[in-house]
Structure 1
């Protein structure tokens, strides 16, 4: 109740009362001055008090009623501004305010807010376009790196494994000739051959490790997330509740969203000590909505985001902002963690 009395509407009502009572004070001073100095026959002291009382009784409720009705328009406009700003904070940059055509300051403010929303929408589109271009450049860099890696692997195969296999062939042929003549020497060479074969096998395993496919390569986002969760089920006792829509997005958006989900699930697996995890990926009219929550131990979200060591949370926030989205993390110790991500289309 006290908060409402501090609103702009009631401030204007108090101002109206100040004006009424100040005007009555001026009238009363003039009346008493006229009565005391000029003493006209038509002016009585009782009439002055009667006039002042009647003005107070009539003007106070009438003035309050008039200003209360007139400020309803201002209150409604300010409420519309507040809702509009909240929608912008949620990433709904296509929202618009309607002009009242009253040609007052509030209409000018309305036009400026609409212009601001258009600029924010353009900036989001620019960010997403830059993210797409960055993804294309990253893909070109990846192709170049792949070619370079293939050349390196070819050199390693030639310099390491190929030469070891050639040495094994020569030593095995020489050992065959020594088996009957020098069995002790042949045994030593066979042991050396065994060690060289083991070394070649280790070299081959190390090379094959570089050839593992990149996750989410060539598959849709929803399939990549489901596949990631299936992998986590094998490595943990977490129970997952999934609600995932099929969504077609640009490669850069899919990569950013997947990495954010991956980081969130990784944090749950390492730190939350949770039993149940809920993952939602919803395709809405103007945005992509991702919600992840768990029933773990929770943490103080504000403190974690401010700490320099919270690289995972900061990386999620940076990835989200890079494609024009908003990320909100709600968590309290002992009450689990809730993550909401909104990405405009």
Structure 2
């Protein structure tokens, strides 16, 4: 039976019960012979006895309406639940209405919401897996292309620059002291430009080499990078690298920051020495890179340099901080501090 039919039946039943009760009461109070008074007595040309069932029906309908008010509130709650479900908002579980049909309807809405949430999670999981797989493929393609470009630049442009540098050195050494000073100055400038181009090319090759550690520890990656740098660049390179156990994500970000910093040193600093430290002090891991180059105005560079912003973002992503102190003609110092957070697995 529907809720509406049940409510109408309830109102009619209440009206009939009240009519019977009033009839019984009148029978006891007023004997049948006295009922002639109620038949003859009229109010607004209507016999008084007609008012009795009318009043009874009005009272019954009033009682029905009174009991329907809570039902209206329950129906409003159902409607609100359906609206929330349609708009993706959660609805309250375990709600009781004291009416079996409404309670069953609400429980049905809860089950629909659970099914929607389950399917939404499955869809999101599939999308995330798809995006991760695409990013992995893209990274592999980018890594392969970087390697290819690095090999081609090393085998062609880098070798040509090296040959040009050797030829220019030989030309300047063979020229007599009585040669034209202007030409000698120009040749020196050309030689310096070639040497600077070599440094730029080495910095570019350093950028193009695979950024990831590829199974190496951070310590191994740093040592390999700096050994290669000291063999290829006329610069004094010193380092102190402690054995520190770090998560792979932290190691990767610190290594990328070091690559960016070394690349900036090669391209811009004109430094003669470079010092790298990776140490642990108390609960902090510290990566420090220092050179004796020309330096720069760090306040101006912070807003305009993509490399500095990139390093800053990487430091923040691993919960660390990056500080750069640079003074014109006095060198640059970059320092990254990362707190070591002890996890439950470390305690065990």
The TM tier, using the shorter chain, reads: 0.3 to 0.5
Structure whose CA Rg is larger = 2
TM-score by length of 2: 0.40
